[in-house]
Structure 1
Amino acid sequence: MTRPTERSHPSRQRRHWQLTPLAVASTLALGGMGAAQAQESTQSVVVTGIRHAIETSIAIKRNSDSIVEAITAEDLGKLPDVSIAESLARLPGVTAQRVNGSTQKISVRGMPDKYTVTLLNGREVVNGGESREVELDQFPAELINGAVVYKTPDATLSMQGLAGTINMQTVRPLDLANRQITINLRGEKNSNGEQIPGLSATGNRLSASYVDQFADRTIGLALGYAHLDSPEQQQHYANWWWANTANTSSYPPDWCGGDCSIKGLAKDAVALQGFEATAFSTNQVRDGVMAVLEFKPNKDLHTVADLYYSTYDKKYVGREFQAEMTTWGGAEYVNPGYSNWDGEKVVTSGGIKNVSAKLLSRSNQRNDTIAAIGLNNEYKIAGWTTVADLSYSKAKREESTSEMYAGIGSLNNGFSSFSINRNGFSQFTPSVDWSDPAIIKMQQFWGQMGATRFFDVNDEAKAIKLGGRRDVAWGPVTRFEGGLNYAERSKDYKATKVAYDMKNGSTIADFPAGILMSPATLGFGSIPAVANFDVQQLLATGLFSSRPDDLSSAPNRQWGVAEKITTGYAKFDLDFTVGGLEVRGNAGLQVVHADQTGTGLRWDATTNSAAPISGGTSYTDVLPSLNLSTSVGEGNVIRFGLARQMARPNMEDMRAGIRDVARAQTGPGLWSAKGGNPKLEPWRADAVDLSFEKYFDKRSYAAVAAFYKDVKSSVYNQDIPYDFTGFPDPCVPSGSTTCTPVNTYLGTVNAPANGKGGYVRGSEFTLALDAGRLAPMLDGFGTILSASFTQSNIHQGNNLSNPLEGLSGTATSMVFYYEKAGFQARVGQRYRSRYLAAVRNAWGDTSYTTIEPERITDLQLGYGWDSGWLKGLSVLLQVNNLTNEPYRTKMGVDSNSGKVANLLYPAIYEKYGRQYLLGLSYKL
């Protein structure tokens, strides 16, 4: 009997089943394959490459008790992607979010990545970010042998998520038949070219691995190294905000004297209020090392020690032009033109005078280090296999982001012409030359000549797992496995800022000799040239002094979280017959006890200082799970999953910091503040899954799946009761204001808290087809198609205008491949519909934006020699982001337009270019 795996959710929306052409394709393919089965050859054919990897992945899915999706490499170093994130993004029900052009965040079943747990060899992975979610672009695909996405729980996993669990795996050297040495070398080029003069658009990738077995295959060793030196050349354009300027209530009345309309515009027009255009050049260097030592001297003892270590250095520079076009800034339009955007009258062309504009030079440097070591020991005694697993991992991030400013002083400036593009780069032609060294000066804006923000993150985890398993004959129970897992994790986060001033007190000054370089271009926005200067070189002149800035925000940006998680687990493998059907699967139980502490700062506005504060809580969750599968006819598998699931809170939300403390001056004098919540508990849900799978051969199957998650408790900001005893009284008499005496220390803190839930539900469709089954002439061709449809009535932050973060209603993936006689070709496209995403602003704080639909297309072409003196050599041409798909976000108009929720207006538009790679691989 086969053991299936795949996750889905019960879509009760008829349109889901009617929408997808995949269902039609599946039906036709099934009929064709059924007819072709009679012609199937009885000869055994050994396949390698793409088809071998597909076979292995399908076998994992078919033989798993849980509903899973899997990816595997043909050989170590053969996953065709820059990082494991890109490989995962092709799986059914899995979607990816691009961050500055890199595929980084992975969502499972329409839920944010924060609700997915990522493991490495079954152990929790730490990261250098602010939250739990793992930045998967830091894991080279060349060092990962495969990954399994669990859509339904397995009680033996050390940690599990509410959306799913991703378990990345390194190679086990004794699983290979013999020695294997692989070397990969690729050159890389970005089609955008050098966005900043002198910063290269070319790079390279190098990886090497060695796997061998010794002492009569009792010792196995695997070593791997992967180097990435990759350029990112980004064209960035962002609209700041839009407003109906005749709408005086859009602004505080004192901003514009009661009339906020802009000169030269019709009173009922919606106008852009500001924008930025930036060219970024980025160099990212990642070095990863993997080592596995396996020892199996006899059938009773099996020990595996594994190490993963990587450094990830990312440096970018940016040249940015900013323009503010507001009524209080004196903006005036000349010969404006208007367009109708879904019933809104929008200013889209003309000229503008009296624009407040400036240049920014940006510099960012980030250094990440991740180290993980594990030791797993299995020993068989008295019918039991005992397991002891020890692990330790640590991540560290040091990052700085700097900016310095330039302007043209009191000179009048504006745009001789502009044209606003609703779906691309808008065009602005400046009326002055922003590259002219005679008029460009260092200039103060926002009360500073520039600033640097520093980020320091430390994340550490250690765990021990003790357990055992044995085959039993307890009625339907065929195997028992149980044990205890204890884990400790701590994350410390600190973000600070310094502002720069001229030492001589000036707010505008000429650039020192030799600082201005060859001009940079922002031609994608029709801005022909801008002054080009380097932040670090300017700071090194000694003209500037620094001062700490924005101290009152420290409670949001300096915190720590520590947690101790004790998990008792038990799993019973099942095999029984009911109604003539053989049923297999497992029943599992986890009892999870969490003890957590959050630390932070309490801001005291009366003394402009911060004091330490802490808090915490503990709680226990009981998480039962059931996975069942049965075969109905040849190759047909039905799977059912039922479970209680949870996702531990976002670590940033668990901080104890308190800021903006206030006390009412009238009435009972209640207190108020904003902050984190160290007593926050998890998201919790009851989930049911159903899947039907039809397997035709090793590389062909079709699957239909559905899932439903009844979310009992979600997390969003609320006003929660708080006792402010011991806090200094923030109500200080000033002028005619009189503060009432303190008569209570009770009040509320607006902070993340557990609240009402809802549902997340969906359906998934998959077809993997070896086209050779349909006709001999198609031998070597194949395809993998998938589509998922997801819905939820949960709103991000309990705001009815926002959908659940990360939820795309529709996600599809198409892969077409050919492999025969040494030739390999693969083209893949993944699509994701509009979704709300969490992004980080310059301060590293969370904000939300709506990302427009994306279709990302990749192409790989290759040839490998399997005989002769070139045996083992292969060549590869790869193009990522083949169509140069833009990254786009949308926004609503400012107050009272009536179109806020419709997201009519373009916000961010970015192009990252095509990534070309040409390389060689050699396997010994």
Structure 2
Amino acid sequence: MNRFSFKRSALAVNVALVVSGMSLSGVAAAQQNLDEAPIEEVTVVGVAASQARNLDQKRFNVGVSDTITAEDIGKLPDTTIADTLQRVPGVQIRRSAGEGSTINVRGMPQVTALMNGEQFLSAGSITTVQPDFTDIPASLISGITVHKSPTASLLAGGVSGTLDLKTIRPFDLDSGVTLAGNAELAQGSESKGDDGKVSAFAGFNGDDYGLVVTATYDQKTMANYRNGTILNGMELIGEDIRDQRDFNGDGDNNDTFLSQRFYGVMDRGTERDRFGLSASFQANITDSLEFVGDVFYTEMEDADRKQGMMIDSARGNNWAYSDQYEERLAGPLGGSIYTVNRAELSVRRVSSYAESLTNDRDSTNTNLQLNYEGEGPWSGSLRYLHGDAERSHTENVAHGYLTSGAQHGLLRNDGSGAEPANPRGYGPEDALVQFDRTGDYISLQFEPGFGSDINQYNLVSTYSENNFQEDASLDVLRADARYSFSSGDIASIDFGVRQGERDVTRQTHILVAPFTTGDYSADVMWKDSGASLGDTNGDGENSVAGGDMTLGSTNYYSDMPEGWVNEVSDFGPGSVPGTFYFINPEVMDDNLGFQNAIYPGNKELVQPSRSYQVEEQTQTAFVQMNLEGDIAGLNYVGNIGAQYVKTELDILQNIIGGDRPCSLCTASNKTGEETISRSYDDFLPAANFALDITEDLILRAGYAKTLTNLDIDDLAGGLSVGRSRAGDVLGDQLGVSPDLLVAINGTQNGNPQLEPWRSDNYNLSLEWYFDDASLLSVGAFYMDIESFIEQGTITKGLPDADGVIRRELPVTTDINGEGGSIEGLEFAYQQAFDFLPGIWGGLGASFNFTYAPSDSSNVDVYGDELPIQDNSEKSGNAVLWYDDYGWQFRIAANYRSDRLDRLADAIGEGVVPIWTDSTVYVDLSASYDINDYVSVYVQGSNITDEFENQYAQWDDYVITQNIYESRWSVGVRGRF
């Protein structure tokens, strides 16, 4: 049987009949009658239909791929696009407030996403090639294909995989008018808010022209607790002779312990308002010429609000240990390093911490396209795409003290004499905390009644930093063509050219307010009442106790305006008992208004080290031969070709001086700027081959060289130059005055000379379609990754204070480090049990498992090799579904083994790895068709209340917990 003829004729019948519930054995008979009578077009939806379409598209793609299609208009299987993608073999997701946000394919996050085969802009990830899928309403997407072995004609961009998001178009619909919509109510197990979602779809297919419009809006508030390390940071206590103990009883006080810097429990709530609108118009201009116009718009406002109790180990806590400590390895002082799982702490600082992070983002993508397909051998398309995206981000922090500050010497002086920064706070003997990480949840327990009096809270420190505005534009013009042959093994030749341009601008700023103490005046970012601007008592030393004045003001919670303070007694699982008070994070959403209300006169001050402008141009050309024939009587299809990509970058980078335009702040003076222009070329061969060993058994093989351009943040930023007085010797060598400040070193945010991600990928798989809706497959893959991004040193010409570059000097920045590899196996099984009798015939199941060990150049504290960051060696999915008699049900479990989250400090033979422990997330959905037009449904996500533990090196040393809630929704869906 000719594989392509089966695809184009019998396949259409198979899909229509299989998904409509006809006995699979009747498909062959239906094919025999294909030419004898017209077949009425029937649109069938549901779990079974979607599963069948997914397999159908996988089967007839030449390369290794997986596809997920919507079960109905506007209904992908899960809450978000990323949640849906985690069902694909080899795909692992990362979560934001419990929702799937970004993905890895086979262990690498360097994954690009296309829309209808082309690049697009997402406002949540302006600088990257992979979108933040929390931005994109799943209701606007009709299907997703994950390409794991790319072709030469597929736009380059993914090292390990390329996603192609599909939107619905008019000619995909039945003739006439189609209307659909749904309304949904949702609630979380912890947040308890009444959330909702509405979406509406209207489409018209007039055969020669058509229009579809989809609109969706949803609002949700999600609980997202965090225990343990409130702010990232590890430290080796005792290395600086601050706290050394004799744990092992050898008589030497040279033992130390490894600790996270901050301990606490945090109540986090994430609020998201999403709106999406898509429209598509299609028209047959002539019998051979078609016009397509698409508009895709997304808008999201979100706020991540945090409030929690925090103790700070950097302030010199005294520890009284129980027997819950573990000896780990040799310490730097000659003793041993220990970790502590349970202890009583005499805390020197207890902070009522509140934070608000907000985002306002939107994006618009427009596609205009002409498609030509005549009666001759030529066909092709011409496309123009334009995208705009912007994102505004704010961060606002408030530290309220419960302790006085005297414990660690934090004093204030407004001119009337020195006193503790929080005069009403707890004294040195009053803050004892029981800390315990031995249970299911990390816990803190204060003395009874601690923190229950609002009068003891004082807002000692507040600031707003890392605020930024990002803007991007995208323009693409491309032409593709195909020449088809009527005979021979070369079925057709595809070729095309493309010109793309992306401009990205980012401006980062802090908020500073004017302060005057004594004779000193300055703009200040860290508004800390115990901070001094300088020697205000004239003794030549900075000493608050000796009379130096500080920023000084007290802002007691009890004096705050109504609505500014929250009373909280529930921090979720593992909650600290008691009642505590916090600055209301919702009040802090307006960062400028909040800061002005406390300290008037704030202004935005640009942070040049985190600001930049980048123009990226790409020219692409490809050619690909599509093959079809037989070998020894076995049918095969394949393709072989290459893509050429030229990338040109113009990066405007700021040069930063040593002086600061403000006091107690993170900004530096901009002393100049330079535009760095560079270009690089890539030749990317690709070949794919699929052999029909039998009609149902397919062997696939693929090879491709892949490319992913870097995140703009990795390329651009500010260059800080360190300078010192030249002196006589160096001054003579350079021919300058000995008093000239000359460059000695540099630090650079972003490295314009970084090379992109590149890899050689190999794929081999065997797929058995033992039933038209069933699959058993096994695949092997290998990725040889050229390099990874890591911290290192380069040499660069740095300007002296007079602006002249005289020497090449070391600059600390990101560099291309040694590469690594990922190799693995994928196994997949899917079957519809329609051979079972009666109601059992509606059952079906799918299962997949991926084993993907990896290696990198990093090692842990024992010198053992670490894997690639964020890659789980093992991952898998199990799904049981039912679709019959109007009922649909699906329960799905997703598993990820431990994964390397990040690298902490260097200790022992390597670095301390921070791991995320293995997880199993379980989701379910159920629906009932009331009639042919209306159905009701219920969905549950994370129904087992799974949470994520992070541990440092040793799996019993849990330092952080991200605790997500389960969420439930009920809704009604209609289609007419």
Q: What TM-score do you get using the length of structure 2 for normalisation?
A: 0.80
**Structure 1 pair 417/266, CA: closer, same or farther in 2 (3 Å)?**
farther
Deviation at 1:435, TM superposition (A): 3.7
Deviation at 1:590, TM superposition (A): 0.5
Deviation at 1:260, TM superposition (A): 11
In the alignment, is residue 436 of structure 1 matched against residue 465 of structure 2?
A: no
Which range is displaced more, 39-48 or 650-659? Answer: 39-48
**Structure 1 pair 613/430, CA: closer, same or farther in 2 (3 Å)?**
farther
Aligned partner of residue 124 in structure 1, secondary structure? coil
- Residue 609 of structure 1 is matched in structure 2 by 669
Q: What TM-score do you get using the length of structure 1 for normalisation?
A: 0.84
- After superposition, the C-alpha distances for 1:120-174 in whole angstroms (9 at most, x for unaligned) are 1111122333433210121111110101111011222233311111000101211
Deviation at 1:592, TM superposition (A): 0.6
- Residue 101 of structure 1 is matched in structure 2 by 98
**Structure 1 pair 481/664, CA: closer, same or farther in 2 (3 Å)?**
farther
Counterpart mapping for 1:723-872 below 5 A: 723-724=797-798, 726-728=799-801, 745-773=807-835, 778-795=840-857, 802-837=866-901, 849-866=914-931, 871-872=932-933
Identify which of 196, 208, 218 aligns with 1:228: 218
**Structure 1 pair 815/529, CA: closer, same or farther in 2 (3 Å)?**
same
- Residue 962 of structure 2 is matched in structure 1 by 910
Query: Is the Cα–Cα contact under 8 Å of residues 936 and 972 in structure 2 kept in the other structure?
Result: yes
Deviation at 1:558, TM superposition (A): 1.0
Counterpart mapping for 1:403-482 below 5 A: 403-408=397-402, 409=422, 410-412=425-427, 413-415=430-432, 417-421=434-438, 423-430=440-447, 433-444=450-461, 449-473=462-486, 475-482=488-495
Query: Is the Cα–Cα contact under 8 Å of residues 855 and 866 in structure 2 kept in the other structure?
Result: no
Deviation at 1:509, TM superposition (A): 3.4
- After superposition, the C-alpha distances for 1:497-530 in whole angstroms (9 at most, x for unaligned) are 2226489942433343534545112444324221
Deviation at 1:267, TM superposition (A): 7.6
- Residue 192 of structure 1 is matched in structure 2 by 190
Deviation at 1:792, TM superposition (A): 2.1
**Structure 1 pair 49/671, CA: closer, same or farther in 2 (3 Å)?**
same
Query: Partners of 2:747 and 2:475 in 1: how far apart?
Result: 32
Deviation at 1:745, TM superposition (A): 0.6
Identify which of 205, 208, 214 aligns with 1:218: 208
Query: Partners of 1:401 and 1:430 in 2: how far apart?
Result: 32
- After superposition, the C-alpha distances for 1:866-890 in whole angstroms (9 at most, x for unaligned) are 3xxxx31111111101111102212
In the alignment, is residue 397 of structure 1 matched against residue 391 of structure 2?
A: yes
Counterpart mapping for 1:506-905 below 5 A: 506-511=552-557, 512-515=559-562, 517-523=565-571, 524-534=574-584, 536=587, 539=594, 542-545=597-600, 554-555=608-609, 557-605=610-658, 609-610=669-670, 611-655=672-716, 657-659=718-720, 661=722, 671-675=744-748, 676-724=750-798, 726-728=799-801, 745-773=807-835, 778-795=840-857, 802-837=866-901, 849-866=914-931, 871-892=932-953, 902=954, 904-905=956-957
Deviation at 1:259, TM superposition (A): 7.7
Deviation at 1:796, TM superposition (A): 6.4
**Structure 1 pair 332/60, CA: closer, same or farther in 2 (3 Å)?**
closer
Query: Partners of 2:855 and 2:644 in 1: how far apart?
Result: 29
Sequence identity percentage: 20
Query: Partners of 2:313 and 2:870 in 1: how far apart?
Result: 33
Query: Is the Cα–Cα contact under 8 Å of residues 82 and 140 in structure 1 kept in the other structure?
Result: no
Amino acid at match of 1:851: T
Query: Is the Cα–Cα contact under 8 Å of residues 616 and 679 in structure 1 kept in the other structure?
Result: no
- Residue 122 of structure 2 is matched in structure 1 by 127
Alignment coverage as a number of residue pairs:
835
Query: Is the Cα–Cα contact under 8 Å of residues 437 and 531 in structure 1 kept in the other structure?
Result: yes
Deviation at 1:596, TM superposition (A): 1.0
Query: Is the Cα–Cα contact under 8 Å of residues 40 and 773 in structure 1 kept in the other structure?
Result: no
Deviation at 1:662, TM superposition (A): 5.1
Amino acid at match of 2:746: A
Which range is displaced more, 506-515 or 536-545? Answer: 536-545
In the alignment, is residue 206 of structure 1 matched against residue 198 of structure 2?
A: yes
- After superposition, the C-alpha distances for 1:726-745 in whole angstroms (9 at most, x for unaligned) are 34289xxxxxxxxxxx9951
Amino acid at match of 1:224: T
Deviation at 1:645, TM superposition (A): 1.3
Query: Partners of 1:242 and 1:617 in 2: how far apart?
Result: 38
Query: Partners of 2:70 and 2:918 in 1: how far apart?
Result: 29
Query: Partners of 2:930 and 2:134 in 1: how far apart?
Result: 31
Query: Partners of 2:281 and 2:776 in 1: how far apart?
Result: 38
Query: Partners of 1:85 and 1:764 in 2: how far apart?
Result: 19
In the alignment, is residue 366 of structure 1 matched against residue 418 of structure 2?
A: no
Uncovered stretches (5+) of structure 1, i.e. residues with no partner: 5-36, 195-200, 731-741, 841-846, 893-901
**Structure 1 pair 203/603, CA: closer, same or farther in 2 (3 Å)?**
same
Query: Partners of 1:477 and 1:244 in 2: how far apart?
Result: 65
Aligned partner of residue 464 in structure 2, secondary structure? strand
Deviation at 1:309, TM superposition (A): 0.3
Query: Partners of 1:242 and 1:421 in 2: how far apart?
Result: 19
**Structure 1 pair 80/202, CA: closer, same or farther in 2 (3 Å)?**
farther
Amino acid at match of 1:616: S
Query: Partners of 1:542 and 1:852 in 2: how far apart?
Result: 43
Amino acid at match of 1:203: D
In the alignment, is residue 385 of structure 1 matched against residue 367 of structure 2?
A: no
Deviation at 1:656, TM superposition (A): 5.1
- Residue 23 of structure 1 is matched in structure 2 by none
- Residue 12 of structure 2 is matched in structure 1 by none
**Structure 1 pair 231/3, CA: closer, same or farther in 2 (3 Å)?**
farther
- After superposition, the C-alpha distances for 1:580-603 in whole angstroms (9 at most, x for unaligned) are 332211112101111112222111
Deviation at 1:780, TM superposition (A): 0.5
Query: Is the Cα–Cα contact under 8 Å of residues 265 and 443 in structure 2 kept in the other structure?
Result: no
- Residue 159 of structure 1 is matched in structure 2 by 156
In the alignment, is residue 91 of structure 1 matched against residue 78 of structure 2?
A: no
Select the structure with the greater relative contact order (CA < 8 A; seq sep ≥ 6): 1
Query: Partners of 2:712 and 2:85 in 1: how far apart?
Result: 24
Aligned partner of residue 61 in structure 1, secondary structure? helix
- Residue 411 of structure 2 is matched in structure 1 by none
- Root-mean-square deviation (CA, aligned residues, Å) is 3.4
Query: Partners of 2:751 and 2:595 in 1: how far apart?
Result: 42
Query: Is the Cα–Cα contact under 8 Å of residues 401 and 453 in structure 1 kept in the other structure?
Result: yes
Query: Partners of 1:502 and 1:526 in 2: how far apart?
Result: 27
Query: Partners of 2:343 and 2:659 in 1: how far apart?
Result: 50
Query: Partners of 1:517 and 1:392 in 2: how far apart?
Result: 46
Which range is displaced more, 475-484 or 605-614? Answer: 605-614
**Structure 1 pair 663/322, CA: closer, same or farther in 2 (3 Å)?**
same
- Residue 25 of structure 1 is matched in structure 2 by none
**Structure 1 pair 576/890, CA: closer, same or farther in 2 (3 Å)?**
same
Query: Partners of 1:777 and 1:386 in 2: how far apart?
Result: 48
Query: Is the Cα–Cα contact under 8 Å of residues 151 and 704 in structure 2 kept in the other structure?
Result: no
Query: Partners of 2:26 and 2:448 in 1: how far apart?
Result: 73
- After superposition, the C-alpha distances for 1:685-728 in whole angstroms (9 at most, x for unaligned) are 2221111000122310111111112223443333222122x342
Which range is displaced more, 52-61 or 670-679? Answer: 670-679
Deviation at 1:41, TM superposition (A): 8.5
Amino acid at match of 1:825: F
Query: Partners of 1:606 and 1:402 in 2: how far apart?
Result: 25
**Structure 1 pair 427/337, CA: closer, same or farther in 2 (3 Å)?**
farther
Query: Is the Cα–Cα contact under 8 Å of residues 388 and 474 in structure 2 kept in the other structure?
Result: yes
Aligned partner of residue 545 in structure 1, secondary structure? coil
- After superposition, the C-alpha distances for 1:765-784 in whole angstroms (9 at most, x for unaligned) are 00011122366663110011
In the alignment, is residue 322 of structure 1 matched against residue 315 of structure 2?
A: no
Query: Partners of 1:777 and 1:876 in 2: how far apart?
Result: 20
Amino acid at match of 1:519: E
Uncovered stretches (5+) of structure 2, i.e. residues with no partner: 6-22, 31-41, 330-336, 403-421, 512-524, 530-549, 661-667, 734-741, 905-911
